[in-house]
């Protein structure tokens, strides 16, 4: 099996004692359609997508070897539940949640995605970190706000965030009902204008829009006072050489975004 290819976030104000990585589809053992797209093994980390379970465990072990602890894998349901990553482990029941936080060194928060937006958080003092899985449903329902609230309840001060690989604004086609749901939740004229700007009419497709999840996330994070936001440069749907994409491929693997405290 080739070495796992991982992305180190370009995150200028992340505290020195915070570690973070995002995986790609490259450098694993999975066969097609979970492979690397170029004839090699894929680094699929999702056990729920139809891939061989033993192969996925092998991929997870390869990633685990690069981390200070085992990732806290959660069962994601496009909701807003947030758990303490320290409560997630191999001997614990599967935790249903879409975000986790950690305040102890070596506890690794992790989310799986294949187009949905992974958002990593850290407070500037380096005392609390978090990871959220935010598809459009989770964004609209408030998963980012719930994660911020949980981190602050755990003692976090000013927060910084990094937006990981997700489907980009040139590829994410949605219907008017998605736009309407975000507009219904907008607070005030300024926020409503920001939401409208995040939905570009799709030329030749009446009633369809191209949605910018990164812009929507920035808008919702600002609502909770999080304005230090980085990332958003990787489009999963358009970069088939590096990322899994459910919208592009249907049956596909999952990559992970992970964060932890080192001390």
Output the tens digit of pLDDT for each of the chain's 263 residues.
678 899 999 999 999 999 999 999 999 999 999 999 999 999 999 999 999 999 999 999 999 999 999 999 999 999 999 999 999 987 677 899 999 999 999 999 999 999 999 999 999 999 999 999 999 999 999 999 999 999 999 999 999 999 999 999 999 999 999 999 999 999 999 999 999 999 999 999 999 999 999 999 999 999 999 999 999 999 999 999 999 999 999 999 999 999 999 97
User: 143 near 134, Cβ under 8 Å?
Assistant: yes
pLDDT at 91: 65
pTM: 0.97
The pair of three-digit structure tokens given for residue 71, joined into one six-digit string:
């990732």
| pLDDT given at position 90 | 73
- Domains belonging to the chain, first-starting first, are 6-167+233-261 (3.60.140.10)
Tell me the CA end-to-end span of the chain in Å, nearest whole number: 31
Q: Establish whether the linkage from the previous residue to 244 is cis, with ω within 30° of 0.
A: no
The pLDDT of residue 3: 84
Specify the pLDDT at position 53: 96
Nearest partner of 244 among 118, 79, 110, judged by Cα? 118
Q: Give the 3-state DSSP-derived string for the chain, with helices as H, strands as E and coil as C.
A: CCCCCEECCCCCCCCCCEEEEEECCEEEEECCCCCCCCCCCECCCCCCCCCCHHHHHHHHHHHHCCCCCCEECCECCCCCCEEEHHHCCCCCCCCECCEEEECCCCCEEEEEECCCEEEEEEECCCCCEEEEEECHHHHHHCHHHHHHHHHHHCCCCCEEEEECCECCCCCCEEEHHHHHHHHHHCCHHHHHHHHHHCEEECCCCCCEEEECHHHHHHHHHHHCCCCEEEECCCECCCCCCCCCCHHHHCCCCCEEEEEEECC
Which pairing describes strands 129-134 and 208-211: parallel, antiparallel, or unpaired?
unpaired
Distance CA 182, CA 178 (A): 7
Task: Give the separation between CA 235 and CA 65, rounded to whole angstroms.
Answer: 27
Residue with tokens 């009633």: 207
């Amino acid at each position: 099996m080739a070495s796992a290819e991982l992305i180190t976030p370009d995150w200028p104000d992340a505290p020195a004692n915070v570690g973070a990585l995002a995986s790609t589809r490259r450098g694993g053992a999975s066969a097609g359609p979970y492979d690397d797209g170029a004839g090699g093994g894929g680094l699929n980390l999702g056990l729920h997508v139809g891939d061989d379970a033993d192969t996925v465990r092998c991929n997870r072990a390869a990633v685990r070897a690069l981390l200070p602890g085992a990732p806290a894998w959660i069962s994601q349901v496009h909701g807003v539940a947030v758990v303490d990553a320290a409560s997630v482990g191999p001997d614990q029941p599967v935790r249903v949640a879409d975000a986790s936080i950690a305040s102890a060194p070596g506890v690794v928060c992790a989310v799986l995605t294949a187009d949905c937006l992974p958002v990593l958080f850290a407070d500037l003092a380096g005392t609390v970190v978090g990871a959220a899985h935010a598809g459009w449903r989770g964004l609209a329902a408030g998963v980012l706000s719930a994660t911020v609230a949980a981190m602050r309840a755990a003692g976090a001060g000013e927060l910084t965030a990094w937006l990981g690989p997700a489907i980009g604004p040139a590829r994410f086609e949605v219907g008017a009902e998605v736009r309407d749901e975000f507009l219904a939740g907008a607070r005030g004229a300024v926020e409503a204008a920001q939401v409208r700007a995040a939905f570009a009419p799709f030329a030749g497709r009446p009633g369809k829009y191209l949605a910018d999840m990164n812009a929507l996330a920035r808008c919702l994070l600002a609502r909770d006072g999080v304005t230090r936001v980085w990332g958003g440069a990787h489009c999963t749907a358009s970069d088939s050489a590096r990322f899994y994409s459910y919208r592009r491929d249907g049956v596909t693997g999952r990559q992970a975004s992970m964060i932890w405290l080192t001390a």
